[in-house]
Amino acid sequence: MSGMRLVDSHCHLNLPEMKADLPGVMARAADAGIEAMVVPGIDLASSRKAVEMAERWPGVYAAVGVHPHHAASWSPAVQAEIRALGQSPRVVAIGETGLDFYRDLAPRVAQVESFRSQLDLAAECALPVIVHSRSASPEVLAELETWAARSHHRNGRPPGVLHAFSGDLQGAGRAIALGFLLGVAGPVTYPKADDLRTTLSSIPCEHLMVETDAPYMAPVPHRGCRNEPAYVALVACGLATALGLDAVELASRTSGNAARLFGWKHDDTNRNLL
Q: What is the model's pLDDT at position 267? A: 53
Q: What is the mean pLDDT of residues 253-261?
A: 97
Q: CA 260, CA 19: separation in Å to the nearest integer?
A: 30
For Cα atoms 4, 186, 2, give the angle at the middle one, nearest 5 degrees.
15
89 CB contacts (<8 Å, ≥6 apart)?
none
Domains and CATH numbers, the chain: 6-262 (3.20.20.140)
pLDDT digits (tens, 9 = 90+) for 14-60: 999 999 999 999 999 999 999 999 999 999 999 999 999 999 999 99
pLDDT digits (tens, 9 = 90+) for 61-78: 999 999 999 999 999 999
Q: CA 267, CA 23: separation in Å to the nearest integer?
A: 25
140 CB contacts (<8 Å, ≥6 apart)?
98, 99, 115, 131, 133, 162
